[in-house]
Structure 1
């Protein structure tokens, strides 16, 4: 049987939501025409810092993990592109009130091995904008395809989906949002427990997401949390760690695609229990914080190159 946990929202719903009236009116046709080109540069040090931020290298004698955090023979963790391409993209130009935005879904597709250092250009476009209705929020999704400078073939594609709680009623379509990946009904094939550390968000944020919600206790309280929360993309990567360890023998080149739907926050220091189901080249997964009886990640899916 699939493990049962209570349904949880990403954030308390008791907060009063009033969209900033100074923001531009959201128009569906304008949104769907938005594109943006951004430039990104990274180094081997960035790749290692990211690997440390997602918890690799805790045991310095673990040679499988050491390759991700030691420059002598560095391997790039498969989800590293999401922090390389974290900033920029047409989502920024919609006019969303970011005070009330929740991270809904995230995905990365690796078209070729991601190098430990390089420069790339990302071409971003809006995939969709769906209106849930007045008081119910809206969903916006963008895609960024990265290409190494001087090359023509795509390197990685990143998909970001945001739930904008203040934008409901803008007049966009209510139907057509892609259905999430379905988790098998049978019992999990594997179960992995991965602990986070109390200071993990402080380290992970050095890879680019400096939102004070993940560091400042006062900012966390203002947002309705009793303490800073772990970055959703850190949890995203931890789930990939589980897949990599159980089905890939820590070979990052076996990961072709990784996606999740965020369901509830994780607090630094908590243990994540990741349930995995493997069907040929597809690994399905969910991540739970059993100590609080919550599901942090739903509808997870990784595609393997086998």
Structure 2
């Protein structure tokens, strides 16, 4: 069996040290579309994402990608008990919770555990959790900075009779949204975003994309994830990324470079609930992110 839950679940995927600089933060923000609107080059609010210096802030979604930010190889899938390949895999869901604002530069250690596997019959869902702890100047472990939970959807697996898992949908309010915006994904968006450490050929190589069942390369799910967080932060939080303490969503559809993402958000107490879909064109209304929630400080 390509996936052996008895080996995989609970497996320690090890720890690794990593560092980041202001330049990495700037590249990430540019990769998710910051600074792309007319006037952003002179807007103090927009420059909080794209200009190094004391006003620079970090969107929490950066914490998801920074441990592998400088990788130049396709992401490995050598998970214990899991014999799978990249052509089978799409991102299922992603969440992050931060202890406080992410520093604009620093060093840390990430430790990852494979926490669960769901059997969906014709597919499997693999879950993992990572905890990021700061590294002090003498190399010792410091405080916890953030933790992430993610799942991947593995097509063609499943069927061993395992737990199908549970879901807790995030229902958006039945009223007009408090925020609505759209973002035009540029033709080169995936090619730029892949410089943030995700070299999966699904997002760049047309032939590989066709092998995986897509007519053309698709945008990274985590790029859409960052775009949605940025749009909601700007639209409902005055652009203040320090107010975000957690952000999660489920990837329910794909985005092709050149399409437009429509974001709707509702402020509900100490949370923001949201959804994202394709705007216009033949695929207008197709979902992008569902069960989207931001937890606020």
TM-score after normalising by structure 1: 0.85
2:288 aligned residue (293, 296, 306): 296
RMSD over aligned CA atoms reads: 2.0
Equivalent-residue separation in structure 2 for 1:272 and 1:205 (angstroms): 19
Greater displacement, 90-99 / 149-158: 90-99
SS of residue in 2 equivalent to 1:155: strand
- Tell me the residue number matched to 1:40: 18
Deviations 1:178-208 (A, max 9, x none): 4232322333222111222111111111000
**How far off its partner does 1:25 sit?**
4.6
Q: How many residues align?
A: 279
**How far off its partner does 1:85 sit?**
2.9
Equivalent-residue separation in structure 2 for 1:126 and 1:178 (angstroms): 18
SS of residue in 2 equivalent to 1:105: strand
2:177 matched to 1:188?
A: yes
Q: 1:1-306, aligned counterparts within 5 Å?
A: 25-35=2-12, 36-58=14-36, 59-73=40-54, 74-86=56-68, 92-98=79-85, 99-133=87-121, 136-150=122-136, 151-175=141-165, 177-291=166-280, 292-293=283-284, 294-305=286-297
Equivalent-residue separation in structure 1 for 2:273 and 2:180 (angstroms): 12
Confirm or deny: 8 A CA contact 2:278 2:288 kept in the other structure.
yes
Equivalent-residue separation in structure 1 for 2:272 and 2:124 (angstroms): 29
Structure 1 residues 128 and 146, CA gap change in structure 2 (3 angstroms): same
TM-score after normalising by structure 2: 0.87
Confirm or deny: 8 A CA contact 1:54 1:204 kept in the other structure.
yes
**How far off its partner does 1:163 sit?**
1.1
Equivalent-residue separation in structure 2 for 1:232 and 1:147 (angstroms): 25
Equivalent-residue separation in structure 1 for 2:77 and 2:133 (angstroms): 17
Equivalent-residue separation in structure 2 for 1:79 and 1:189 (angstroms): 22
Runs of 4+ in 1 over 4 A off after TM superposition: 86-91
SS of residue in 2 equivalent to 1:92: coil
**How far off its partner does 1:45 sit?**
0.9
Deviations 1:184-234 (A, max 9, x none): 233322211122211111111100001112112222222222222111101
- Unmatched 5+ residue regions in structure 1? 1-23
SS of residue in 2 equivalent to 1:180: coil
**How far off its partner does 1:108 sit?**
0.9
Confirm or deny: 8 A CA contact 2:8 2:82 kept in the other structure.
no
Structure 1 residues 145 and 218, CA gap change in structure 2 (3 angstroms): same
**How far off its partner does 1:244 sit?**
0.6
Deviations 1:5-29 (A, max 9, x none): xxxxxxxxxxxxxxxxxxx753323
